[in-house]
Amino acid sequence: MPIATPQSVSADVPFLSPSLKEKPYFTSSSKDSNIVSEDHEVHITDLRSLPESELAGFTTDNSGFQWVKHESKLKGDELFDEEKIKNEYYPEVDAFLKLTLGARRTFIFDHTTRRAPPPGEKFVFGADPQARGPVPRAHVDQTPKAGAERVFLHLGEDAERLSKGRVQIVNVWRPIRGPIRDYPLAVADYRSLNPETDLQATDLRYPNRTGETYSIRYGDHQKWYYIKDQQPDDVLLLKCYESEVEPGRARLTPHTAFFNKDSLTQEFEPRQSIEVRVLVFYTE
């Protein structure tokens, strides 16, 4: 039997430009930033085209991300209903992560729903601060400093004790409707990164505090992946913080939305997605 050839798409992805010599920053409203980006053509491999034996190696601890099948009880517009998200979807995510990752406790500290522009219109990140569209910029949501601070920001009197055990921040990302064709989510394999050259701490300025994310510099050693025609039951887990650093263990997952040029010749509904950001604890 012939071996299937992995399939990929090419896309122009914005990365942090090396021309910026000061620490990058942006505000939570996206109105102010000194970030200088430059586009690079990236070949993004379709996870669906890989053999099962290879897919098994993509886990939150190996690659930083993991593709898991999980069907939510909430469908379509129910995942834009803030009350249903917090009262019904959050408990689903809690149970799902405990089962999938072996977590003992979780704390969901926020979520974001996103809608892409109508077909034919390219989304420009930051052009409308009120529009929560796809984020076409290679990044990681937290640095180790910001990840550790999140425990104390949200867990009150339990924070000191919980921070002494293993802590992660995991994003649970799923389409609200599928298939996603216009702005898929791409993720980079942590094993293909050079943390010394690829990661740049970036200030995220809120009205009352300053957080920190990573901007990503381009490197042709990086390996990027996506799920072609991703459906609502195709859930991506993205590790954004890991407190226990060990050789061979992924610490984070660079990710970005990308404009899929192949969608120009297809019929599709504009992307709709929900991402839930979760503190994951392995002790209670």
More reliable by pLDDT, 268 or 174 = 174
Report pLDDT digits (tens) over 108-163: 999 999 998 777 666 665 555 445 889 999 999 999 999 999 999 999 999 999 99
Mean pLDDT of 77-93: 97
Q: How far is CA 142 from CA 25, 39, 174, 177, 221, in A?
A: 13, 22, 20, 27, 22
Residue 254: strand, helix, or coil = coil
Report pLDDT digits (tens) over 182-215: 999 999 999 999 999 999 999 999 989 999 999 9
> pTM (2 decimals)?
0.93
Radius of gyration of the chain (CA): 18
More reliable by pLDDT, 127 or 103 = 103
Provide the pLDDT for residue 264: 82
Q: Which of 9-23, 27-41, 213-227 has the lowest mean pLDDT?
A: 27-41
Q: Which of 160-164, 197-201, 222-226, 267-271 has the lowest mean pLDDT?
A: 267-271
48 and 227 in contact (C-beta within 8 Å)?
yes
8-281 has which fold?
Jelly Rolls (2.60.120)
Report pLDDT digits (tens) over 230-243: 999 999 999 999 99
Provide the pLDDT for residue 268: 84
Convert 123-146 to b/e letters by CB count within 10 Å (16 or more is b): beebeeeeeebbbbbbbbbbbbeb
Mean pLDDT of 158-177: 97
